[in-house]
């Protein structure tokens, strides 16, 4: 069994499903959404984050790096991403806290133990554990299945936050242990989907239909990005699709885009080219919400 990489364990997570939850963010994703606000979630291996603005340029990282990947660049310091193995030596030694390793491997038992710490909160609030990412459904499924099963057996509600781009077999394996799937729909047009997300949405929509047919409880999550999909036509398409295929939803979350990931790209020394997206206005979000509600959907919320 391969141990996936987890880049964050978020406790008191109150917008990733019902109640107080612990969200496990798995690293690595098959999509490459241009608006992604978590660039450190895209690659599967661990990565070095370099918070440039915290750096005091003391030079400790240059001294200690075994790979010589931290180098002086004039009076600044640069990470040679080719050489960097994300070994973490610089992060341990950095006095300014400007270096951090994104991603850590855990055993199933370790993750269950971590999740178990907040059991009393789940029980009081009706919460549980959410597996998110990156993309949890593209991780080692022996591991994910074992994890879901263990969490389920402890009586925790398991939510899966997924983009849907994975073999259906993966979903089928964990279906018995999952309380709710938080299922993303980003675009309905396959070509547009490929342009903005990197793959078409064929498998995503097919998996959604099958999941629903197999009795999964599904909460639809739709990121709304001004300049991409924040328009009535798209919402109408989603509603039509859900109705046509009789997708039974337990709720719909409309998530307004926020330009919050920009600086994270800099921490990975990656560019963030897209400046053309904008935040949909509150009135428009409310309008979208009403469109769903008028079509008979229950539990439609703006935000997580």
Partner 1 sequence: MEERGMNERIRKLRRQSMDAVAHLDMERARLMTEAYKMYEGTVSVPEMRALALKHYFSNKTLCINDGELIVGEKGDSPQGSPSFPELCCHTVQDMHVMNDRDLISFKVTDADIQYQKDVIIPYWENRSIRHKILENMTPEWKAAYEAGIFTEFMEQRGPGHTVGSVKIYEKGYLDYQNDINEALSKLDYYHDPEALDKKAELNAMSICCDAIMILGKRYAAYARQLAEETDDPQKKEDLLLIAHNCDVVPAHKPETFHQALQMYWFTHLGVTTELNPWDAYSPGRLDQHVYPFYKADVEAGILDDSRALELLECLWVKFNNQPAPPKVGITLKESSTYTDFANINTGGITPDGQDGVNDVSYLILDCMDEMKLLQPSSNVQISRKTPQKFLKRACEISRKGWGQPAFYNTEAIIQELLNAGKSLEDARRGGTSGCVETGAFGNEAYILTGYFNLPKIFELALFDGKDMMTGKQLGPHTGDARNFKTYEELWEAYTKQIDYFLDVKIMGSNVIERIYAEYMPAPFLSIITNDCIKKGKDYNAGGARYNTNYLQGVGIGTITDCLAAVKYNVFEKKRFTMEELLHALETNFTEDSRILNLVRNKTPKYGNDDDYADSIMREFFAYYRSHVTGRPNMKGGTYRINMLPTTCHVYFGDVMIASANGRLAHKPVSEGISPEKGADVNGPTAVVKSCAKMDHLQTGGTLLNQKFTPAVVAGEEGLNQMANLVRTYFNMDGHHIQFNVIDRETLIQAQQHPEDYKDLIVRVAGYSDHFRNLSKALQDEIIERTEQSFA
Which residues form the interface with partner 1 (CB under 8 A)? 10-16, 19-20, 23, 37, 51, 53, 92-95, 97, 117-118, 120-121, 124-125, 127, 223, 255-260, 262-264, 266, 303-304
What's the distance, CA 281 to chain centroid?
Answer: 24
CB atoms within 10 A of CB 78: 15
Q: Return the C-alpha torsion angle 3, 43, 58, 75, nearest 10.
A: 160
Q: Which residue's CB is nearer to partner 1, number 141 or number 224?
A: 224
Partners of 104 in the beta sheet? Answer: 6
Least Cα distance to 84 among 66, 69, 100 occurs for: 69
- Residue 262 C-beta: closest distance to partner 1, Å: 7
Least Å distance between CB 205 and partner 1? 22
The pair of structure tokens assigned to 191 is: 């070509």
Instruction: Let me know: does 9 contact 24? Beta carbons within 8 Å.
Output: yes
Q: Edge-to-edge strands of the sheet including 128-133?
A: 104-105, 5-13, 21-26, 128-133, 157-162, 180-184, 218-224, 249-256, 300-302
The nearer residue to partner 1, 60 or 170, going by C-beta atoms, is: 60
| Shortest reach from residue 121's CB to partner 1, in Å | 5
**Comparison of 67 and 125: residue with beta carbon closer to partner 1:** 125
- Residue 197 backbone class (left: φ over 0; alpha: ψ -120 to 50; beta: rest): alpha
Q: Which residue number, 31 or 146, has a Cβ lying nearer to partner 1?
A: 31
**Nearer to partner 1 by C-beta: 190 or 261?**
261
């Amino acid at each position: 069994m391969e141990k996936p990489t987890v880049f964050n364990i978020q406790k008191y997570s109150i917008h990733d499903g019902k109640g107080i939850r612990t969200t496990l963010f798995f690293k690595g994703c098959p999509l490459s959404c241009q608006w992604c606000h978590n660039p450190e979630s895209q690659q599967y291996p661990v990565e070095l984050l370099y918070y440039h603005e915290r750096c005091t340029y003391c030079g400790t990282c240059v001294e200690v790096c075994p790979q010589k990947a931290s180098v002086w660049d004039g009076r600044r310091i640069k990470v040679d991403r080719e050489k960097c193995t994300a070994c973490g030596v610089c992060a341990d030694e950095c006095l300014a806290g400007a270096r951090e390793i994104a991603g850590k491997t855990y055993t199933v038992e370790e993750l269950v133990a971590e999740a178990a710490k907040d059991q009393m909160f789940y029980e009081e609030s009706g919460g549980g554990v959410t597996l998110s990412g990156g993309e949890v459904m593209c991780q080692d499924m022996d591991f994910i299945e074992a994890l879901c099963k263990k969490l389920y057996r402890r009586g925790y509600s398991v939510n899966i936050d997924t983009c849907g781009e994975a073999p259906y077999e993966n979903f089928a394996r964990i279906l018995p242990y999952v309380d709710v799937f938080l299922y993303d729909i980003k675009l309905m047009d396959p070509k547009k989907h490929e342009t903005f997300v990197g793959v078409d949405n064929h498998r995503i929509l097919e998996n959604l239909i099958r999941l629903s047919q197999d009795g999964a409880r599904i909460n639809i999550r739709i990121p709304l990005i001004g300049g991409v999909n924040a328009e009535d036509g798209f919402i109408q398409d989603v509603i039509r699709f859900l109705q046509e295929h009789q997708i039974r939803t337990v709720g719909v979350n409309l998530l307004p885009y926020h330009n919050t990931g920009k600086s994270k790209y800099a921490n990975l020394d990656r560019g963030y080219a897209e400046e053309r997206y904008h935040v949909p206005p509150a009135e428009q979000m409310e309008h979208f919400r009403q469109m769903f509600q008028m079509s008979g959907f229950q539990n439609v919320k703006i935000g997580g």
